[in-house]
Structure 1
């Protein structure tokens, strides 16, 4: 009996040692499990917050809380091309993230910037509980549509989804660099 157990244990260990390792994901696929964007005030506003980003389905899902808005106000939110929030007005973040060269528009429209999202609305306490899906982008991996190390920017006004190139959304009131945390 002891001999049979020893043989079974040896075979099990041998099988584990020779099992092939899974292939790494292709470079175009998202490799991150989670990202974070800590929004800091810009342009003299009081807007700030913390956003978590997770790859999900055909894109990246953003959740979190952003506060410091006027009650019941509507604001644009976009991913911008540069992961740089050093300018006091967040202009260092550049324009909207647009790797495919599309016109600006509503996220549900066939043609729009990869960084375009629908407007967010603050509640009566001036807070937004963010729950947004950004389709067609990845988080990590270095693909052309990768939003890691780019900026998440909140604007003072609503996006009109028409004006080119940025929706006439006004000043940038909060900015964060999207960082991979795991």
Structure 2
């Protein structure tokens, strides 16, 4: 009886060890962050990006942003100098048109998000048009990429930026 219990305990311990090794060797998803700041350099919050097999999940939490709906886009250059023009246009490695109604849209096009009356926003969205790993849609190309929040909403139609207004916040996407 003691041998049976010892053998079962040894087998169970080996199974736990093997499962632990398997879990430890599983690949961790690629992640990135963008520390969002306004044009005066004031910190507004953080946006995180996490690669999954079917796309990138983007989660953000921002404060001190004007209440209402705002556009957010991934821009082609990882630079956030005042007025944020240095961030370039939308991330668009396929030279597609802007907008949700386009046959193929910019890789940097994302849904609008809402800021409450206290200036706080929490959002989550997913895109399959960018990647945090190798490939043509990788945001970590030679000049990087950034996230830009605009003063207004994206109309999801007007090329090149959805008539979304001034750039009011920027964060360089970093590993």
Normalising by structure 1, we get a TM-score of 0.73
Please, which runs of 5 or more residues in structure 2 have no aligned partner?
Answer: 1-26
Task: Give the whole-Å Cα distance in 1 for the aligned partners of 2:151 and 2:41.
Answer: 9
- Other structure's SS at 1:95 match: coil
Query: Structure 1 residue 165 and structure 2 residue 130: aligned?
Result: no
Alignment RMSD: 2.2
Query: Structure 1 residue 104 and structure 2 residue 101: aligned?
Result: no
- Runs of 4+ residues deviating >6 angstroms: none
Compare the two structures and name the one with the higher helix fraction.
Answer: 2
- Pick one of 115, 132, 139 that aligns with 1:147: 139
1:113 aligned partner: 106
1:123 aligned partner: 116
Task: Give the whole-Å Cα distance in 1 for the aligned partners of 2:60 and 2:112.
Answer: 15
Query: Structure 1 residue 89 and structure 2 residue 89: aligned?
Result: no
2:37 aligned partner: 40
Please, which runs of 5 or more residues in structure 1 have no aligned partner?
Answer: 1-24, 26-30
Task: Give the whole-Å Cα distance in 2 for the aligned partners of 1:47 and 1:82.
Answer: 20
